[in-house]
Structure 1
Amino acid sequence: MKANSEAPVLKALAPIVHGFEAASLGEIEKVRAVDLEIAVIFGGPAKTDDEIAGAIGYRVSLLHVESLHELQRIEYIAGQLQTVVPILLRVNLRGPLSAAQLQMAGVPTQFGIDEVRVAEAIRLARRLPHVDLQGFHFHSMSNNLDAAGHVRFVDLCIRKSQEWASEFRLPLSYLNAGGGIGVNYQDVEQQFDWDAFTSGLDRMIREQEMLAGMMEPARMGAVSQDQGLPAGSLLFECGRYLTAACGYYAAEVVDIKQNHGKQFAVVRGGSHHFRLPAAWKQSHPFTVVPVEEWHYPFPRPELRDSAITVAGELCTPNDVLARDVFVPRVRIGDVILFRYAGAYGWSISHHDFLSHPHPEHIFLE
């Protein structure tokens, strides 16, 4: 959901996904405003007591545990509510992992339980009466474009889970491989090879006979009925992949200028609307949409066959959406149209910085 949590997007996705992954109580509430029954899994590294209790109240399907301390807090809160909470342990793998744009595991981060402490976490979870350990969560990377590498990552997750299941005689119902399937913002014609990924995944699972060997059928049936998720599941959180290509960001060029040998197109908008390019320090793909209207009594400034930097209206040099991109022509009054803006665009932006107006949001069905 953190990729795009707008209600029309959730309503469009609800009939075709198994559920939603939420990272806050606010996101859980957004899901329940759209669908009272669809499965929700809940994660995040700093859950408050109110969020844990709220997630239980909203009947989340799985709660991802980030630490041994959080595990004990969940047990305490579930005990007060006289219920049993289904959980996955989030594991921060040591590696090796595929290279991706962001790493949540394999390097020191605030996410998950260090792989070397997983055995300790399993022993603790098995002793606690108000949590039901049903598997493991491995959200380890973001925006991975290597399909074969992602198959190897999932293979590693499965093998690690099998080792722990065997060691502790732990029946597993769910293995969540998390997100990480990427979008190529630098070459939009060369996207993640979904066919290669799914065929490689199929071969790997068949070779391991993972689902047949590691799951306990009687237990799976009860989980599936109660929680709305297919039992014995390998889960993926594909928010970026699902929503990125569905969104565009359009901003009008309000000025053209040259400074220190560089050409700038300054737009009415910027990173307070669409923060992803600035956050990742990359040029976002765009096209120039010509607008023929011109209302001023003086000549219309333009650039031809030039490399331009697209900058926003904020009073910071960090408000840049694309750098040194060649365009055949751009004029003041034209519109810069950014593609692949449906994920981590508006949702991660600092909307009220400088108190500029919010953009208009248009949803096409």
Structure 2
Amino acid sequence: MSMNHSVILNAVTQFSTPLYLYDMQKIQWIYQLLRNSLEKNIDIFYSIKANPSLGICQYLSQLGSGGEVSSRHELFTAIRAGFSPRKIIFAGPYKTDDDIALCIERNIKAIICESITEMNRVNHISEKYHVKTKILLRINPDFKVKSAPIKMSGESTQFGMMIEDVIKHQEKIKLLKNIIISGIQVYNASRILNEKDIADNINHILELSLQLSSALEMKFTCIDLGGGLGVPYFEKETALDIQLLIIRINQSVLEYQKKNGQTEFILELGRFLVSESGYFITRVYDIKKNHQKQFIITDGGMHCMMAASGLGSYIHRNFKAQHIANEASENQAEHYTVCGPLCTPSDIILKDFLIRAPAVNDLIVIEKAGAYGLSASPFRFLSHGACVEAMLFQDQLFLLRRRETIDDILQTQNDCQFIFSEGVKLC
């Protein structure tokens, strides 16, 4: 059973709204397409930041994916989800000593080091544990993906090290006896929708790897190619020709191995694996007209799906969405602004949405909502709390995350009433 109106209506009846609903079959299809087509020594690592819901992580672990984490809580989530520590990498520009120690204790595959300072810290903590820790050097290169809407490196950002700095400090690096430099990582961009640009970026990364390996007189055994494969969210965006891209990636790594020998490669994929699976479902509570514009008020806004609000973007662009009406109408379609329940004018999830005769209790469904949804949204704003997450798996609906209650929201806060029990004196 694929996702359709009947499934969505059943999910709303069972779990109410606002609601995230994930079609696990879509995750499986995308993962297996990649796994069956890529060279065997190209490992797929799921970027847990894209959707850290435990059930999603458990499913990708079952499918055989590795896990890329960027915090200790993501590391604990990955381990609880069943990812083997030897298939976990820890990335990100901020790692505490406790984070590094945890990675060493759990014996994860590699820590991705973002600076010379961080390399020294990993070496120092590894020395205390009497172990040698495998690391990847995150390089901020002198090339970038010009077509990418989100650029992570290849220009002045907080991520990684310049190759010149690594070479400059190579003698000091060679004195660090408790780290093993397995290779490099370059994560240059996100949401790339051009096959040639992705392939060219990978070729540049492989050339950089050969250059740095030679300069350091080290043999690299693992190259993290980053990821950044995009999903077409908006009008005029076109999906990647994934088969063509895979052919080009395979060709590139095979050519690299002719020069460098057997090497393991990593593709970090988050959005590309889970975005298509997700549907954000919100219910219409009111319809009104103000100053010649028509508005729909729903129970799920930017506190549940900030990405749909376009906050921080130059312009608001609508995600693909659908209207599920309780009653069919022959009225002419009109434009509406679809808003959430928050007390801010920024709480708009669709602008100029063309629909026919909306009514209270109708549903608005935003598609491709599987990545950077709930966990990347301010769901505690106005104390609404996190909404429900559910999944469709083998024709059945299952709860992934229950709706947050006021007790959940208050449980980490201290009750200070006893402090004020004798009254507050105003100055």
When normalised by structure 1's length, the TM-score is 0.88
Aligned to 1:296: none
User: In the comparison of the two structures, how many residue pairs are matched?
Assistant: 341
RMSD: 2.2
Using the alignment, how far apart are the partners of 2:98 and 2:70 within structure 1? 14
Residue type at the aligned position of 2:177: P
* Equivalent residue for 2:361, pick from 319, 323, 333: 333
- The 8 Å contact of residues 116 and 166 in structure 2, kept in 1 or not, is answered as no
Higher RCO, 1 vs 2 (CA within 8 Å, ≥6 residues apart): 2
The alpha-carbon deviation at position 49 of structure 1 amounts to 0.9
Task: Establish whether residue 247 from structure 1 lines up as the match of residue 278 from structure 2.
Answer: yes
Per-residue CA shift, 1:25-53, capped at 9, x if unaligned?
Answer: 10010111121625100011111111111
The alpha-carbon deviation at position 347 of structure 1 amounts to 1.7
Aligned to 1:274: 305
* Equivalent residue for 2:113, pick from 43, 55, 65: 65
Using the alignment, how far apart are the partners of 1:90 and 1:123 within structure 2? 18
Using the alignment, how far apart are the partners of 2:337 and 2:171 within structure 1? 55
The alpha-carbon deviation at position 123 of structure 1 amounts to 4.1
Using the alignment, how far apart are the partners of 2:240 and 2:83 within structure 1? 33
Aligned to 1:311: 339
Aligned to 1:221: none
Identity of aligned residues (%): 28
Aligned to 1:263: 294
Worse overlay, 147-156 or 274-283: 274-283
* Equivalent residue for 1:195, pick from 239, 243, 246: 243
Task: Establish whether residue 359 from structure 1 lines up as the match of residue 387 from structure 2.
Answer: yes
Using the alignment, how far apart are the partners of 2:170 and 2:51 within structure 1? 33
Per-residue CA shift, 1:266-319, capped at 9, x if unaligned?
Answer: 2101111111123454322110011249xxxxxx9x984112222111111111
Aligned to 2:50: 3
Using the alignment, how far apart are the partners of 2:256 and 2:350 within structure 1? 45
Using the alignment, how far apart are the partners of 1:86 and 1:47 within structure 2? 16
Worse overlay, 127-136 or 188-197: 188-197
- The 8 Å contact of residues 270 and 319 in structure 1, kept in 2 or not, is answered as yes
Using the alignment, how far apart are the partners of 1:260 and 1:108 within structure 2? 44
Aligned to 1:220: none
Task: Establish whether residue 214 from structure 1 lines up as the match of residue 242 from structure 2.
Answer: no
Aligned to 2:31: none
Residue type at the aligned position of 1:248: Y
Q: SS of the residue aligned with 1:185?
A: coil
Task: Establish whether residue 291 from structure 1 lines up as the match of residue 337 from structure 2.
Answer: no
The alpha-carbon deviation at position 203 of structure 1 amounts to 3.1
Q: SS of the residue aligned with 1:277?
A: helix
Give structure 1 stretches of 5+ with no counterpart: 218-231, 294-299
Aligned to 2:135: 87
Residue type at the aligned position of 2:71: S
- The 8 Å contact of residues 67 and 83 in structure 2, kept in 1 or not, is answered as no
Task: Establish whether residue 157 from structure 1 lines up as the match of residue 205 from structure 2.
Answer: yes
Q: SS of the residue aligned with 2:281?
A: strand
* Equivalent residue for 2:77, pick from 7, 14, 30: 30
Distance 1:164 1:337, change over 3 A: same
Task: Establish whether residue 20 from structure 1 lines up as the match of residue 51 from structure 2.
Answer: no
Using the alignment, how far apart are the partners of 1:152 and 1:72 within structure 2? 33
Distance 1:291 1:115, change over 3 A: farther
Using the alignment, how far apart are the partners of 2:51 and 2:351 within structure 1? 25
Aligned to 1:346: 374
Using the alignment, how far apart are the partners of 1:193 and 1:303 within structure 2? 39
Distance 1:123 1:265, change over 3 A: farther
Distance 1:33 1:284, change over 3 A: same
Using the alignment, how far apart are the partners of 1:170 and 1:152 within structure 2? 25
